[in-house]
Amino acid sequence: MRLFVGLDLPAAVVSNLEELLDRLRPTAAINWSPPENLHITTKFIGEWPEDRLEELKTALAAIPPRAEIPVHIRKIGFFPNPHSPRVFWCGIEAPGLEALAAATDQATSALGVPAETRAFSPHLTLARIKERLNLQPLREAIAATPSLEFGSFTAAGFFLYRSQPSRTGSVYTKLAEFPFSHT
């Protein structure tokens, strides 16, 4: 089973991002993320044996308690850069999220999941760009976007997700929830 750990988005934020995607989607033939799949990944686990699922859940549940994390969704951009983009993203500002990602990385590394080698860069993947295209219409639509503020929320925990491929893209299923305070 293919797994990752992340934060869920509240309906109001998803609605704001869905409006953005509806406005931008006609400007570029790229692989747009369905709004229901938008999430903030804190750790990509990859393939994990189903018979070790409880072991993984136990390790994630043992991550030390922490304060709720204020999350602000704002700004958009391209990875690795605007001239040779592979990912179109929405930015995340969330004090404390990097520490959660590091704790998650440490907990999963102890189980044999490869540790992260790149710096944590929180974002929402709005689209993947597989080939070189003229993205000028997309850039113009971004420039005409009235606001690059898409909402805020307070994260009270994180989730373990399963990613299953389907004909229309991946389907994400929450397998477990881990509240920040263990009360």
Count Cβ atoms below 10 Å from residue 46 Cβ, excluding itself: 13
Q: What is the CA radius of gyration of the chain?
A: 17
39 is a catalytic site residue? yes
Q: Which tokens is 3 given?
A: 């797994």
| Cross-sheet strand order for the sheet of 123-128 | 31-32, 123-128, 87-93, 69-79, 149-155
Q: Which tokens is 145 given?
A: 């976007």
Instruction: Please say whether the beta carbons of 127 and 30 come within 8 A.
Output: yes
Cβ within 8 Å of residue 105, ≥6 positions away: 43, 115, 116
123 is a catalytic site residue? yes
* Cα gap 152→171, rounded to integer Å: 25
Q: What are the residue numbers of the active site?
A: 39, 123
